[in-house]
Amino acid sequence: MGTLLLENIDTLATFNEQRHVLKNAWIFIKDSQIEAVGTGKYRGEEADRRMNLDGYVVLPGLVNLHHHFYQALLKNIPSLQDVSLFRWLHDMHYLMREFRDEDLEIASRISISELLLSGCTTTVNHSYLRVNDMRHDTEIRVAQEMGIRFHLARGSHSKEKGDDSTLPDFLADDVDEVLADTERLIKTYHQADYGGMVRIANAPSTLFGVSDRLWIESIELARKYGISSHTHMAEAPDEERFVLERYGKRSVERAEELGWVGPDVWYAHATMLDEREKAIIQRTGTGICNCPNSNMYTAAKVCEVAPMLKAGGFKIGIGVDGSAANNSSHLLRETRNALLMQRAFFGADAMSPSQALEIAILGGAQVLQRQDIGVIAPGKAADIIGVDFEKLSFAGGIHDPVAGLVLCEVDRVDLSIVNGRICVENGELIGVDTLSLVRRANQHARNLMHRTEKNSNVSISAPVWRRAYPYDEMKD
């Protein structure tokens, strides 16, 4: 990879311990790591390549803690537009059973493209759908090709004999197979070393679709190999009711009973927590991923990020969640929405732009237990993003470029470097023919819908127009 100098950086937010924000700065990158950072004219070793970032605001890449890549082909499905979680899952199941590996491949490309362009340099994929010929190896291959730092959260579902849960049979995995395949993925791909580009996590899906044996044995396996564990938790009222009725406990109490708490565990959503559950999370150092867009879209409750951060002792990051519940994988916008949602519920000072960015960057790195990312400093991985401030969306708003990333509308980042490799330059993905990618994805989405409606004999793709005003009122 050689050496790369980023120079004349207008504003460099380092996210280091002192939170230094440097003006007229430079970063010298050697291979995959940052070697030196400074201000003024660079006078060090000659670089193989120099990049002039005059007018740019530069910061560490954002971390996405929760996603389901396959759902890139499930954006904007008419029958999923206005329904609560269990109903949404019901219609999703028709589509899920028709997925093939080639759909996963194209959906992974779309998700990673959107993530890279929106400032994400490290992403999790909670990957629980394994039907027909789908393979986890496919998304790892795509992530490696496209250059994003990747945590594959190996997902799963299971049923016990006589299980009356709502989980359809086609989603139920064989527990022994899940454990064996997780072990295979760890042995084949997991890079525990500093700067590792691929890591594996253990990730049964949810309390309403996983047997006790899978919860307990999978986390034993994860701890044997020193990998993290991840799952959905306390996401929505439907789920909370189910867990209470079945186990007589609240979700996090149930998770603790199964051993699913600790610094090596993080939950997506956590919108339904009561004070006892929050205390368990705080005491055990369990991480939380806030997914505001998904929570708003599926009418879940609000994750109490601001009150928890104020109380202290909580590790919280941000995730876009799958595109069936978000319809987008835009991580900077997710960060903006996290801020806005906290303010709507907890007041004007609930979350500032720098706090929102800290959650998306430092919080994400902390939840994933990574010391190598999230800070621009010598010795850290070269995961760096830059936004050219000289554009319409920032015009007139030049006084605080860092806050502008969250408060103004950032369509896309102009620069993204992951592990020293340039993935986005001048606002374009490097090595990706975006138009042909979009056309391929649309063809796959059409074919998937066609197979679904035919094989399940349902109609879920016809747009539904709902009037905001009764017709007669509009005539006057």
Binding site for Zn ion (CB under 5 A): 321
Minimum separation from the CB atom of position 19 to Zn ion (A): 31
Minimum separation from the CB atom of position 241 to Zn ion (A): 19
Minimum separation from the CB atom of position 342 to Zn ion (A): 20
- What lies within 8 Å, CB to CB, of 468 at 6+ separation is none
Give the Å distances, CA to CA, from 270 to 84, 229, 244, 267. 17, 15, 15, 7
- What lies within 8 Å, CB to CB, of 63 at 6+ separation is 120, 121, 122, 123, 317, 318, 360, 361, 363, 364, 365, 367, 368, 373, 374
Minimum separation from the CB atom of position 295 to Zn ion (A): 11
Residue type, 368: L
Distance CA 99, CA 455 (A): 12
Nearer to Zn ion, 304 or 321 (CB): 321
Nearer to Zn ion, 13 or 92 (CB): 92
- Is there a contact between 112 and 146 (Cβ–Cβ < 8 Å)? yes
Nearer to Zn ion, 9 or 368 (CB): 368
Minimum separation from the CB atom of position 206 to Zn ion (A): 9
**In this chain, which residue has its C-beta nearest to Zn ion?**
321
Here the tokens at position 470 are 């009764």
What are the φ and ψ backbone dihedral angles of 398, each rounded to 5 degrees? -90, -5
Minimum separation from the CB atom of position 268 to Zn ion (A): 5
Distance CA 291, CA 303 (A): 8
Q: At what angle do helices 136-146 and 101-117 cross, to 10 degrees?
A: 30
DSSP state of 400: -
Nearer to Zn ion, 98 or 321 (CB): 321
Nearer to Zn ion, 243 or 375 (CB): 243
Minimum separation from the CB atom of position 447 to Zn ion (A): 24
What are the φ and ψ backbone dihedral angles of 290, each rounded to 5 degrees? -90, 125
Nearer to Zn ion, 256 or 321 (CB): 321
Q: What is the DSSP string of 279-323?
A: HHHHHHT-EEEE-HHHHHHTT-----HHHHHHH---EEEE----T
- Is there a contact between 274 and 262 (Cβ–Cβ < 8 Å)? no
Q: What is the DSSP string of 121-178?
A: EEEEEEE----TT--HHHHHHHHHHHT-EEEEEEEE----TT--SS--GGGPPPHHHH
- Is there a contact between 84 and 42 (Cβ–Cβ < 8 Å)? no
Nearer to Zn ion, 30 or 136 (CB): 136
Distance CA 459, CA 160 (A): 32
Nearer to Zn ion, 218 or 294 (CB): 294
Nearer to Zn ion, 64 or 416 (CB): 64
Nearer to Zn ion, 29 or 89 (CB): 89
Q: How many CB atoms lie within 10 A of CB 299?
A: 13
Burial 115-127 (b: 16+ CB within 10 A, else e): bbbbbbbbbbbbb
